[in-house]
Amino acid sequence: MNNLKLLKFTVLALLLGIVTTNGLLAQNSPMSGESFNLVLADLDPGQTVTITFDVTVDNTLNSNQVCTQGLVSGSNFQDVLTDDPDTPDPNDATCTPAEPPVPSGSTIVINEVDYDQPGTDAAEFIELKNISGSPIDLTDWTVELVNGTGGGATIYKTIPLPSVNLAAGDYFVICGNAANVGNCDLDVSPNTNLIQNGAPDAIGLRNPAGDLVDAVSYEGDTGAPYTEGSGTGLQDPGTSGNDNIGISRFPDGTDTDQNNVDFVSSCITPGETNIGNPSCPAVFPFMTIWAVNDDVDGVLQYYTLELNNNFLNVEGNIEGVQGPKDIEDLIIDED
C-alpha cells in the first residue's frame, strides 16, 4: 500500500517583486475537486506573494505525483494562473512527486488471523510473515488492532513487537494464550477476546518509522487507511464445527493490496505455510499417558496429550515437555 507522506511545495502568484507570507494564514481540508479560497491583502506595484502549504495524502494515489494550481483574481486586473517557478513553462501547475508504494516482497505482511472461535474466543492469533529476501529486525515494529464500527478507524490496542530478527520467509505468531495456539512467539494479554470480531474491524502493521506497511480489514471496510481494496465478505465464521477456521493469505504471503482477494477462509496453520483449505481435520479427544519411574522415589510421572488439528499441547509434571508441540516432532517409544 502507499506510504502516507507529507508533501510540501510552493505556488507563486506572479505580480512582480517579492513578498513572503510568514506563519499560518488559513487552514482548511478541501476534498478532491474542491477549491480553497485564500484572501490576500492589497499588493503594492512591483510586489509578489509566495504561498507555501502542505498536502497530506490519506488515500491510494492513482498517479505518481500531486499537482495543484491556483487562480489569482482581483478588482483591477484580469485573472492570472499561478506558476511553478522551477519550470520554464509559464502559468503551469506545481507538481510534486509522490512516494511510490512499498513493493510487494520487500517487507512483512499480516499473513493469517484467527479472531473468532465458537463460544469464548480463547485461541486467537495473528501471524506475520517476512516476504522479503533478508532478515528483518522487529524492534520498534507495532501491530494495531482497529475498531471499524460505522466505517471508522479507532485503535483499541497496540502491540509492540520484540527485538527479534525474523528470517526471510519465516513467520512470527502473536497470540492471546500460548497454551491454545501452536507456534506462538509472543503471548499478549488478554487471554480471551483479544481481537474484536468485525463488522468491520481491522489489523494494521507499522514499521519503526511509523509507516503503515500492511493492513487487513475483515467483515467490511474499516476507515482509511486500514482497508486495502475491500474487506467485504472476508470472515472468520467462529461457529460450531468451524473451530479451526481463520482467514489466511492464499497463496501464502501473496499481497496484491486487495483484502478480500488476498485472504480466504481456511484451516489455520499458525507458524506454517497457509493451505487455503476450509475442510479441516476433526478435533481429536484428550489422550492421557501414564508412566512410572522407580528411580524417582516411586513418584508417578505423567503427562496429558491434547491433540487438536496439527498441534499437540503437553501438560504434566515431566520437565521440558510442557507447551504446544508440532506432532511432526512427536516420537512415541513403546518401551
Please list, in sequence order, all residues whose beta carbon lies within 8 angstroms of the beta carbon of residue 29, skipping any fewer than 6 positions away: none
Q: How many beta carbons lie within 10 A of that of residue 276, not counting itself?
A: 16
Give domain status of residue 37, yes or no.
yes
Structural domain count, the chain: 3
Indicate if 310 and 258 belong to the same structural domain. no
pLDDT value at 154 more than 60: yes
Give domain status of residue 193, yes or no.
yes
Work out the burial of residue 289: count CB atoms within 10 Å of its CB; fewer than 13 is exposed, 13-18 middle, 19 or more buried: exposed
User: Can you give the pLDDT at residue 2?
Assistant: 34
Q: How many beta carbons lie within 10 A of that of residue 186, not counting itself?
A: 19
Highest-pLDDT range among 38-52, 70-84, 288-302: 70-84
Q: What is the CATH number of the domain that holds 160?
A: 2.60.40.1260
What is the average pLDDT across 241-267?
Answer: 94
Alpha-carbon separation of residue 57 from 61, 97, 98, 101, 111 (angstroms): 8, 12, 9, 12, 26
Work out the burial of residue 292: count CB atoms within 10 Å of its CB; fewer than 13 is exposed, 13-18 middle, 19 or more buried: exposed
Q: Is pTM beyond 0.85 here?
A: no
Task: Give 42's Cβ-side CA count (13 Å radius).
Answer: 4
Q: Which of 101, 130, 150 is the last residue of a domain?
A: 101
Query: Which cell numbers hold the place of 174?
Result: 502473536
Buried b (16+ CB within 10 A) or exposed e, 248-257: bbbebbbbeb
Give domain status of residue 27, yes or no.
yes
Indicate if 189 and 230 belong to the same structural domain. yes
Cα–Cα distance for residue pair 117/285, rounded to 1 Å = 18
pLDDT tens for 88-110 read 888 888 777 765 444 444 599 99
